[in-house]
A = this chain, B = another copy of it.
Amino acid sequence: MPRISHKGLELPQSAIRKLVPFADATKAHGIHVYHLNIGQPDIETPKEALEVLSEKAHEMAQNHGVLAYSPSAGIQSYREKLCQYYKMHGIDITPERILVTTGGSEALQMAFTCCLNPGDEIIIPEPYYTNYNTFAKLCDAKIVTVPSSIESGFALPLVDDFERYITPYTRAIMICNPNNPTGYLYSEKDLYAVSALCKKYDLYLFADEVYREFCYDGEKHFSVLNLPGCENNVVLFDSVSKRYSACGARVGCVITRNSELFSAMMRMAQARLSPPTFGQVFAEAAIDTPKEYFDAVMDEYVARRNVVVEGINKIPGCFCPNPKGAFYTVCELPIDDSDYFCQWLLTDFEYKGATVMLAPATGFYSDPEKGRHQVRITYCLCIEDLKAAMKCLEEALKVYPGRIKVKAKAASKTVKKSSPKANKKAVSKKK
């Protein structure tokens, strides 16, 4: 039997999906599972955009149309419309800088491949989005992490901390803003600091901004595309997945003003021919989604976040920061081993016929030990379910055999509540 490649052997299993078989078994026994483990929003996809796709497919059927390859860089009218979208967010960009990809994932893969040589290093504040590991592995690059701490809500580490990790092999600094998995929203000042470092050491600044819209409590998002003087350093990853609750569209993009890099990514794009046509038709129409849709969505997420943050902080021994963006939070629980706890929830626990599925934070750290007492919680469920899930988690912690003592940060926790109204105002101002 022919052997598989070293990469084939070493590609990591998804930290988020590895508990799925246990969840399936639990469901098979009639137990309801509250999914707080995956970033699959339950928010309705904008119906206007779905109707546009429906009409276009119908027209194609009626007119003997051909579902052709799109251009490798994406449908031209979509790239132009994307520029309008970015303009609404105060970002000035032209279509020839935008390469449409199959989801944000392909954007990451193209940029990593065209920027990083084997052995090159990318510095990332941890905890960080686990799938970056696979894309780094695919080009034999190495992820080097700078710790951020739960006490500060996972704020950006100090520039000195970053600088300490820079070696001759460092090729990029990567920022996910707002952050998955922590929900932290980096400020304009934070990004200027990172960009100064990138300029000083001639590094790429990779930025994953797929949660751009998801900013709460009146906070505003600042894009790396608006950093002056680092046009050749900045590479932006984007996606319509979360923005329009359209994860299945598989449409993203990579944007850079670095022409040499763009041209290399284009050659890679040509080999895979084109991104999905239906998804692009949908995504182009989705740019016209009315502002009211986003206002309602942001209000809903603020309310959900509040349920989770308050729910967890009132459980003895737990600590949850108050994230300002995305729909994740990493919190600390009084548990001996988050991998075991998350599995135990599925295999050995139920409360009123239900249990909770969480993502162990071990998979979001370079050293799993750092996430041993932490879990990532996604607040993609409706308020009622989230409340039930919080109650379930509370009961679980009462009986979990591996419960450990309360730490200092959990004892001294303070949580600031913010109202949906304040956020609504912020969303209105942004547009």
Contact = CB atoms under 8 A, between A and B. Distances in A.
A265 B102 CA distance: 18
Contact of A202 (B1, B68, B102): B1
Interface stretch (A108-116, A178-186, A294-302): A108-116
Contacts of A60: 45, 47, 50
A161 to B, nearest CB: 21
Interface in A1-31: 1-2, 4-9, 11-14, 17
Interface stretch (A134-142, A150-158, A354-362): A134-142
A248 B100 CA distance: 14
A207 interface: no
B264 A105 contact: no
A53 to B, nearest CB: 5
Contacts of A4: 114-115, 260-261, 264
B68 A247 contact: yes
A250 to B, nearest CB: 4
Number of copies: 2
Contact of A8 (B50, B113, B202, B273): B113
A62 B69 CA distance: 29
Contact of A1 (B6, B43, B258, B267): B258
A278 B272 contact: no
Contacts of A134: 267-268, 270-271
A65 interface: yes
A70 interface: yes
Interface string A269-305: 0111111111100100000000000000000000000
A234 to B, nearest CB: 10
A40 B53 contact: no
A53 B45 contact: no
A285 to B, nearest CB: 11
Contact of A67 (B62, B203, B248, B264): B248
B8 A115 contact: yes
Nearest to A113: B7
Interface in A41-67: 41-45, 47-48, 50-51, 53-55, 57-58, 60-62, 64-67
**What 8 A-B pairs have minimum CB-CB distances, sorted nearest first?**
A248-B277, A8-B114, A134-B271, A8-B264, A278-B278, A50-B61, A47-B61, A54-B57
27 contacts: A2-B172, A2-B232, A5-B113, A5-B139, A7-B117, A9-B264, A12-B267, A17-B270, A44-B64, A45-B66, A45-B67, A47-B62, A50-B61, A51-B58, A53-B54, A53-B278, A54-B54, A54-B58, A57-B57, A69-B248, A102-B272, A105-B272, A113-B138, A131-B271, A131-B273, A134-B268, A276-B276
